Structure 1
Amino acid sequence: MAVGVIERPAEFRAVTEFLLSAERSPSALVIEGDAGVGKTTLWLAGMAEAEERGFRVLSARAAQAETALAYATVADFLGDVDPDVLAGLPEVQRLAVDRVLLRAEGGGPSTDQGVVAAAFTTALQRLSDERPLLLALDDVQWLDPSSHAVIAFAARRLTGRVGLLLTERSEHEGEGAWQWLKLGEEAEVGRVYVGPLSLGGLHALVSARLGRSFPRPTMVRIADISGGNPFYALELARAIETGASQSVLPATLAELMRQRIGRLESETQVLLLAAAAAATPTVDLLARVTRNTPERTLELLAEATEKGIVSIDGDSVAFAHPLLARSVYTDATRGARRAMHRALAEEVSSPESRARHMALAASSADPSTLEALDEAAATAWARGAPAAAAELLELAIGLGGDTPVRRIDAADQYLHAGDLPRAEKLLEGLTDRVPRGVHRAMALNLLASMRIHNNSFSQAVVMLEQALKHDEGDREVRVRTLLLLSYAQLNEGDFGRALQNVERAAAYAEDVGHHDLTSQVLAVRATIACMCGRGIDWASIQRALALQDTHSQAPIAFRPKANNALLLAWAGRLEEASQQMAVVRNRCIERGAETDLIFVAVFTALIEIWRGRYEEAARIAAETVERSQQLGGEHMRIIAKVIQSLVASYTGREAATRSAAREAMELAAGCGSPRLADWAAVSVGFLEVSLGNHERALQTLQPLIERFPYIPGTEIITVEYVPDAVEAMIALGRVDEAVPMIETLETNGRMVDRAWMLAVGARGRSLWLAARGDVPAAVSMAEKALTHHEWLPMPFERARTLLLLGQLQRRQRQKDTARATLNEALAVFEQLGTPLWAERARAELARLSTAPSGNLGLTASEQRVAELVATGMTTKDVAAALFISPKTVETNLSRIYRKLGIKSRAELGRIFGDEG
């Protein structure tokens, strides 16, 4: 056991068990307790033990003075990482690290905390690949917001042999680290509480640290006053050692600290105040602030060093314990603190530190302080620290610089940092105060963006329509408003107005001269126009790609590369679409854009399903479920469950399909976004058709069917359910209801030359012709569908058409041809892994045999007719389901009755009920 923790055997055992776990998989342990209780001692012992076990150890100590400095703790960690590891990061991540470490020159693409988080995670992952890694963080309650976000991100994503050992004060405000720190694969974060020491423990501690022991009565007195707090007990023992009377020992730690520090020279006390107020105190900084030489500074600090108040390592100055720093700072007068911050502001080099010191030195707004805070916020934003930038702007607002521009900028920064509640609070305060004008429009835009983020599209539409009334002719604000409005209206199902508004945005964008904004408008316009039945404007997409800023932080739904991938997929160019979506995905990974990866996952999974690559789609679904759990939020979970239900429906897992779809629908209804689960209904509808449950299929798809007449286009992304609805309608004898859908697919397919529409439209027409008894025409139409499939790399859809053609060929008594067609369909279904459809193909092959079936002596054809009639289906329904005429059904029934010796459908129902 490490020296210094001999009095903590149980707690140290918890640390060693944690290290054993970290040698196998990601693990975390939070050491909790009151200030001075010995958390850091245990933490240091844990690090020493880790090094003995062969861990690579990265450590950092968060400080109260650093709680508002961007990436202060992450910079400490990264500063100890092998430069070769950092050099191997992707370019944008290397740049982000250089900015965190304040060694980047100006220029280069923008970075944000997502990129920093991705770089940090990648670096840790690479280190843990070599040997176990311990990330040790002392005083996590003082973690700056930017570092908090990065460490939380990394903890969720790490998969190697990594341990996180943290200390945290019990009395701090807000969530504890064990609550916000989430590990992957739902691993739990451990906690160990460090409480007061017993009398024996205090005796052992004092003897070990001071090299002497005290009589029992003295130790009892120390234990009584300190309450078992080791730090307080040691300070009391030191006081007694220097001659203090036991009868006048201070009753509080604060008083003891005050007495101890108060005995120092006044010049030394000024130096200690400077060290307590500075984020990273150095001998050189303290000398400049107090107008001393470095030599004189070291001379003045000598006594404080000898008494164990501070330590000096090279040029760095550190307090022996955070309580000492806090005592120095809080005991100083307000005037002295302000004067010290003013002096520090003149000497520190970082714009961020300078501005904070100026703010802490000021009692009210002054132009120079406000200007410094604005400049520091811009610097923090350039370093990719939006939370720090927002807090700097809020400091300016709090000092009296409360302007609409600062509120909008701060809210925008919080939005980028993912802190929506604070962003909304700032904006609501602004919209309450500013009834009109461009600033109101900008605030409404940001509020609408938050509603869109939560899929509350109708609320967003109302806000954006208001914003258009207040833009005061500002073209850029108008373009951004119209772009958001068109996207919200599209997702609300208002296709016509969405297209109208994005066309308006395109007209204005040319005058604004903002290339990246123009590229976003062109990309979104092409996508919306395609969904509205206008075909694909490839020229606009190419121009959007040429104008785009490849490092733009625009929402992923507005980026040209993402839209290009979608349009390629809808056009049936699935291989190209998959490649382009992979490029988009890699960029999201490099930038740590977790929410954007959900968007990518949805469309990548659809592309893989259409390509018949169900294993890959299943992998994406599982990854998305895990990511949605890490990110939290009902909308993320809905999307993940929708993907799961789609994959399960194709792979024939009935229970999994229904469970995932039901959960998605319930979540969507609960959060007021029922249409978010439309694809869950599509998956269940497809499953029901696969099972032959046509009535249930139509019940599930009914809301989508009702909306069909109002959808201007028939791209696969909006009406993939139509082939299933058509098949179910015709199977149930509702032939006429299917005609409008079939005709629309045929017409639109010809108009925009879309292979998918032409193929499934022809298949639907074939079904309709067969139901009307025109089998030759149905065969011809199915064969025509197959010619369209040649241009469509969707193997399942082609096999589905082959199955229909084989059924029709059998009906024409072309047994050999039908057998070849059905065997081809079966081979594809089996290769793809669609068991329900493979079984349908096998059943059709069985019907080609005229041999008696089962113990009832029926042929396969008679058996199938009997089964359907026994369920209560009418002659017309059975004929439609089996692609035979009603007369053929009646002929089969006559033979069935004769063979079974019965005379009615009721008797047939009883027989098949008994037969199961």
Structure 2
Amino acid sequence: MQSISEIVAVAAQRPAGLLLEGEAGIGKTTLWLAALQQARDNGFTVLSARAWEAESKLAYGTVADLLADIDPDALATLPNVQRVAVNRVLLRDDAGGPETDQHVVAAAMLSVIEAMATDNPVVLGVDDLQWLDACSRDVLAFVARRLRGRVGVVVTERTEPDRGGTASWLHLARPDALTRVRVSPLSLGGLHELISSRLGRSLPRPTIVRIADVSGGNPFYALEMARAIDTEPELPHTLAELVQRRVADLDDDASDALLAAAAVADPTVELLARATGNDADRMTELLEEVESRGIIEITGNRVHFTHQLLARGVYVGASAPRRRRMHRALADAVVQPELKARHLALASSRSDPEILRSLDDAAEGARARGAPSAAAELLDLAIRLGGDTPSRRIRSASHHFRAGDHDKAHDVLAPALEVVRPGMLRAIALNLLAGICIYRRSFAEAATVLTEALQHCDDNPPVLAQTLLMLSFAQANQGDYDDALANAREAVKHAEVLGIDVLTSQAIADLEVLKALCGFGFDEGSLNRAIALENPDVDVPIPFRAHSTAAQVLAWAGRLDEAREHMEVLHKRCVDRGADGDMLFVSVWSTLIHVWRGDYSAATRVADDAIEHAEQIGGDHPLVIALTVRGLAAAYTGRIEAARADATAAIEAAERFGAPLLAEWPIMTLGFASVSVGDYEQALRDLEPLLAGFDQISCTEIIKAGFVPDAVEAMVALGRSGEAEPMVAALERNGRRLDRSWMLAMAARCRALMFAAAGDVAAAEEAAAQAMVEHDRLAMPFERARTQLVLGQLQRRKRQKQSATDTLTDAQRTFERLGSPLWADRARAELKRTNVAAGRSAELTPSEQRVAELAASGMTNRDIAASLFISAKTVEANMTQIYRKLGIRSRAELGRRMGPRG
């Protein structure tokens, strides 16, 4: 009870959980009920449900029990897609609406629980986790991981004495928030007290000792033996034997009623009456007799066994033919197609066309209710009952894939691919296999599979268009942009002919992003049409959503506020649907947009959320994405070690599953981090993989060429300006062709650096000024301030002291406002060089002072020239003057002379 009190106390402040585990009958449910009552006594709102061990149960059964306890007014405030999902779970009238699945249901439940917890703390209680249906398990796992408010989770799980539990899926946000307690057997004294209190009498000590020895301290087992002790001279040796003795003298009608109750998850008086051929009054009479023996309890019209072991004992104790007869009767009595099909399947031991049709219909009904895992389970049952056909396997694999069990989907699909004939069905199967490959990031394998699929769908335009769309996506993710673009154009052509709006929207969206990636820009009219044709109620993969494309290409074009608006649409949809995988996509682009806009606090927040989502999903792919965005945010906020650690880990993870394109942005982060600390040689080593392939890319949008400004700065600083020329020329050429302010601004800044290194200060200043003109069209404050650093240096060099001071001061303030300390320090240092600082040697000019400092730090004349945008001859002339004025003859003397100030 101490653990219960502690959990209740903690849950009043933050999420906390208690998992009571132990063998059957050990007392878990008793403690669970006590915990829920203690929570109620402490002002908690309690939502509770019991998962029952039944051969036939409805998808979302446990979740439906939990939702039934929630005020309907609270459910009415949910977003539309979540309300639809809840209505389907609760079997309310469904007049259509958007597609839903377990993620949407989970998002709805989480929303309601968190809202309730703002008024009063909430306890979510579930008894017997091991009997949860797959849909309920997925929902509860999702909710538990994301709880943030004042919510407690109290659950039980049956385990074997020498084996661990199966609820490894249950986690709270904090690893230490879930306490696991194994319920131990009762002592001899505990058993004596239990039996005395429950039976109202004491047994002799020798009898208690015998009961303790046989039961092993199991409370349920001990109580059942104590009840039998008056009529049985010998104690039973098994729990099954005990149960049979409890029900042995019941008449046939009562026995049938008990068997019917044991065969369903939620028995009612009316259901049991229909199944056994009785009227409700007769059934009530029979059940009341059984209730008087403590075997069942009747609450309203619902019937429950007092313990799961009694239900199991009744069911297992019946002969197989009798169980099959009862399931047949229950199939006629239940209304839900899913339950009817399950009972029919349990009523037969051979292939039966009627049963197979029933299972097919029930699977379709489960899919429509948003229960893909249940739909897959029903089809798998049909396969095991002799209905093993390629069509049924393909449908089952599709449902498994939709439910998130991609490995199971592959295992179910593989045998079908071996026998399915050429034609449309094979094309559909290959498309599904390609989807599994894409999920596993095996894009090359997916492209191969889809290329074969094209051979089988010429006579089915919808499948053909979808195949071309997926093939285009797979090829693009391999970096094969030309073929991807060609297939995207074909997909649009076929979609347009079909006139299917949602497919046309996807195809246009895919085409526009590929056009941009191939260096052709995008067509705004087509993009707007894709957005207009998009159907928010259809669950389309996020890369093919028009808002996704709009967010990307508008961001590349520098229209960041518009891009952010599209990303907010995607974000809301992901939240409403509980779409974790899609949320990672949103995290990447949101972080990039926030960074480009200079909102580093928002970027950091989104990046941290991405890490959390990646940890919840698991696997290398989510990890690459999350580490990429977190490392990027860290680099811009000056946390260089953290940035390098995350970027390096992301690159390594991308290499592990063969996705080199995903390593591009972490590589850019490494290069930017090195430039931020002035380590230009390291920057070029970091960027080498991108530099080596630059001449092979036709796209210089920021998404592909974001590393160019860092590479050029490093090359110029190291006296390698010639190597930078092709990259700068490409930015200039493409920037003019596409009217991209980012390309033009970066190209002009890079030109300024190159002119300055060559000694042409006037041309350098003119280029920097042109860059500033382009920045006026570009809402990227960091890049503008970075260009101001270059312009301020050039103004100082031309002895425009006041202009240089104003320019550099503005840059410093921008960096400080953005929260980029390393670059603020750079601007501050440049300002100091603009004016003669107090304490400087009176003999040296400001320019000579700076050259002396750099020479004393160990830099060569060439490095000094690159750093200060002057020629090497100018450095030599300055060094001559420095030696003369200071009366020294060597760099060693200069180092000693400048050291204290350094």
* Fold agreement, TM-score > 0.5: yes
Q: Measure how far apart 1:185 and its partner are.
A: 3.5
Are 1:688 and 1:694, in contact at CA under 8 Å, matched by a contact in 2?
yes
C-alpha separation in 2, matches of 1:852 and 1:394: 83
Alignment-derived partner of residue 342 in structure 1: 328
Which of the residues 119, 140, 151 maps onto 2:129?
140
C-alpha separation in 1, matches of 2:331 and 2:366: 17
Of stretches 751-760 and 398-407 in structure 1, the one that deviates more from structure 2 is 398-407
Number of aligned residues: 902
Which of the residues 30, 33, 57 maps onto 1:41?
30
Are 1:544 and 1:560, in contact at CA under 8 Å, matched by a contact in 2?
yes
Which of the residues 686, 708, 733 maps onto 1:722?
708
C-alpha separation in 2, matches of 1:852 and 1:183: 58
Which of the residues 333, 355, 380 maps onto 2:366?
380
Which of the residues 644, 664, 668 maps onto 1:682?
668
C-alpha separation in 2, matches of 1:568 and 1:472: 35
- Residues 1:520 and 2:509 are matched in the alignment: no
Which of the residues 213, 238, 245 maps onto 1:259?
245
Alignment-derived partner of residue 223 in structure 1: 212
C-alpha separation in 1, matches of 2:574 and 2:741: 31
- Residues 1:95 and 2:84 are matched in the alignment: yes
Task: Give the AA of the match of 2:28.
Answer: K
C-alpha separation in 1, matches of 2:858 and 2:27: 78
Of stretches 286-295 and 852-861 in structure 1, the one that deviates more from structure 2 is 852-861
CA distance change for structure 1 residues 871 and 460 in 2, over 3 Å: closer, same or farther? farther
Q: 1:680-732 CA distances to partner (integer Å, 9 max, x unpaired)?
A: 22112112112211111111011011121111211111111111111111111
Q: Measure how far apart 1:175 and its partner are.
A: 7.8
- Residues 1:300 and 2:279 are matched in the alignment: no
Alignment-derived partner of residue 643 in structure 1: 629
C-alpha separation in 2, matches of 1:148 and 1:856: 77
Alignment-derived partner of residue 191 in structure 1: 180
Task: Give the AA of the match of 1:514.
Answer: I
Q: Measure how far apart 1:233 and its partner are.
A: 1.0
C-alpha separation in 2, matches of 1:892 and 1:498: 57
Of stretches 556-565 and 669-678 in structure 1, the one that deviates more from structure 2 is 669-678
- Residues 1:244 and 2:232 are matched in the alignment: yes
CA distance change for structure 1 residues 861 and 657 in 2, over 3 Å: closer, same or farther? farther
CA distance change for structure 1 residues 315 and 89 in 2, over 3 Å: closer, same or farther? same
Are 2:600 and 2:633, in contact at CA under 8 Å, matched by a contact in 1?
yes
Are 1:67 and 1:144, in contact at CA under 8 Å, matched by a contact in 2?
no
CA distance change for structure 1 residues 453 and 899 in 2, over 3 Å: closer, same or farther? farther
Corresponding residue SS for 1:724:
helix
Alignment-derived partner of residue 669 in structure 1: 655
Are 2:56 and 2:342, in contact at CA under 8 Å, matched by a contact in 1?
no
Alignment-derived partner of residue 511 in structure 1: 497
- Residues 1:432 and 2:399 are matched in the alignment: no
Q: Measure how far apart 1:277 and its partner are.
A: 0.9
CA distance change for structure 1 residues 812 and 597 in 2, over 3 Å: closer, same or farther? same
Of stretches 895-904 and 629-638 in structure 1, the one that deviates more from structure 2 is 895-904
Which of the residues 69, 89, 107 maps onto 2:58?
69
- TM-score in terms of structure 1 length: 0.95
Q: Measure how far apart 1:199 and its partner are.
A: 1.3
Alignment-derived partner of residue 699 in structure 2: 713
C-alpha separation in 2, matches of 1:870 and 1:492: 49
Which of the residues 127, 145, 151 maps onto 1:156?
145
Alignment-derived partner of residue 5 in structure 1: none
RMSD: 2.0
Q: After superposition, where does 1:725-874 map in structure 2 within 5 Å?
A: 725-850=711-836, 854=840, 858-870=844-856, 873-874=859-860
Identity fraction in percent = 53
Q: Measure how far apart 1:69 and its partner are.
A: 2.2
CA distance change for structure 1 residues 132 and 850 in 2, over 3 Å: closer, same or farther? closer
C-alpha separation in 2, matches of 1:250 and 1:310: 21
Of stretches 489-498 and 32-41 in structure 1, the one that deviates more from structure 2 is 489-498
CA distance change for structure 1 residues 549 and 175 in 2, over 3 Å: closer, same or farther? farther
- Residues 1:104 and 2:90 are matched in the alignment: no
Q: Measure how far apart 1:145 and its partner are.
A: 0.6
Task: Give the AA of the match of 2:408.
Answer: R
Of stretches 852-861 and 273-282 in structure 1, the one that deviates more from structure 2 is 852-861
Alignment-derived partner of residue 602 in structure 1: 588
Which of the residues 44, 59, 68 maps onto 1:79?
68
C-alpha separation in 2, matches of 1:172 and 1:226: 13
Of stretches 230-239 and 173-182 in structure 1, the one that deviates more from structure 2 is 173-182
Which of the residues 124, 129, 149 maps onto 2:113?
124
C-alpha separation in 2, matches of 1:174 and 1:377: 34
Are 1:856 and 1:900, in contact at CA under 8 Å, matched by a contact in 2?
no
Task: Give the AA of the match of 1:564.
Answer: A
Which of the residues 192, 198, 219 maps onto 1:209?
198
Are 1:178 and 1:190, in contact at CA under 8 Å, matched by a contact in 2?
no
Q: 1:177-226 CA distances to partner (integer Å, 9 max, x unpaired)?
A: 65211111334311111122111111100100010111111111211221
Q: 1:309-362 CA distances to partner (integer Å, 9 max, x unpaired)?
A: 112122111111111111111111211111111111111011110111111112
- Residues 1:359 and 2:345 are matched in the alignment: yes
Which of the residues 5, 15, 21 maps onto 1:32?
21
CA distance change for structure 1 residues 84 and 167 in 2, over 3 Å: closer, same or farther? same
- Residues 1:181 and 2:181 are matched in the alignment: no
Corresponding residue SS for 1:791:
coil
Are 1:414 and 1:423, in contact at CA under 8 Å, matched by a contact in 2?
yes
Q: Which runs of 5+ in 2 are unaligned?
A: none
Task: Give the AA of the match of 2:821.
Answer: P
Q: Measure how far apart 1:674 and its partner are.
A: 4.1
Are 1:67 and 1:143, in contact at CA under 8 Å, matched by a contact in 2?
no
Task: Give the AA of the match of 2:720.
Answer: R
C-alpha separation in 1, matches of 2:341 and 2:517: 50
CA distance change for structure 1 residues 111 and 225 in 2, over 3 Å: closer, same or farther? same
Alignment-derived partner of residue 55 in structure 1: 44
C-alpha separation in 1, matches of 2:222 and 2:842: 93
Alignment-derived partner of residue 684 in structure 2: 698
Corresponding residue SS for 1:64:
coil
Q: 1:377-401 CA distances to partner (integer Å, 9 max, x unpaired)?
A: 1111111111111111111111121
Q: 1:114-133 CA distances to partner (integer Å, 9 max, x unpaired)?
A: 11001000111111111111
Which of the residues 149, 155, 158 maps onto 1:169?
158
C-alpha separation in 2, matches of 1:817 and 1:296: 99
Q: Measure how far apart 1:828 and its partner are.
A: 1.5
- Residues 1:655 and 2:655 are matched in the alignment: no
Alignment-derived partner of residue 547 in structure 2: 561
CA distance change for structure 1 residues 261 and 499 in 2, over 3 Å: closer, same or farther? same
CA distance change for structure 1 residues 870 and 489 in 2, over 3 Å: closer, same or farther? farther
Corresponding residue SS for 2:177:
coil
CA distance change for structure 1 residues 371 and 910 in 2, over 3 Å: closer, same or farther? farther
Alignment-derived partner of residue 614 in structure 1: 600
Q: Which runs of 5+ in 1 are unaligned?
A: 1-11
Which of the residues 276, 293, 296 maps onto 1:290?
276
Are 2:22 and 2:159, in contact at CA under 8 Å, matched by a contact in 1?
yes
Alignment-derived partner of residue 7 in structure 1: none
CA distance change for structure 1 residues 119 and 811 in 2, over 3 Å: closer, same or farther? same
Corresponding residue SS for 1:492:
coil
Q: After superposition, where does 1:305-324 map in structure 2 within 5 Å?
A: 305-324=291-310
Are 1:27 and 1:162, in contact at CA under 8 Å, matched by a contact in 2?
yes
C-alpha separation in 1, matches of 2:498 and 2:140: 40
Which of the residues 385, 393, 401 maps onto 2:379?
393
Alignment-derived partner of residue 880 in structure 2: 894
Alignment-derived partner of residue 19 in structure 1: 8
Q: Measure how far apart 1:431 and its partner are.
A: 2.3
Corresponding residue SS for 1:263:
coil
C-alpha separation in 2, matches of 1:185 and 1:867: 51
Q: Measure how far apart 1:475 and its partner are.
A: 2.3
Which of the residues 280, 302, 314 maps onto 2:266?
280
Q: Measure how far apart 1:369 and its partner are.
A: 1.4
Corresponding residue SS for 2:303:
strand
- Residues 1:405 and 2:391 are matched in the alignment: yes
- TM-score in terms of structure 2 length: 0.97
C-alpha separation in 2, matches of 1:540 and 1:723: 31
C-alpha separation in 2, matches of 1:860 and 1:893: 13
Of stretches 846-855 and 184-193 in structure 1, the one that deviates more from structure 2 is 846-855
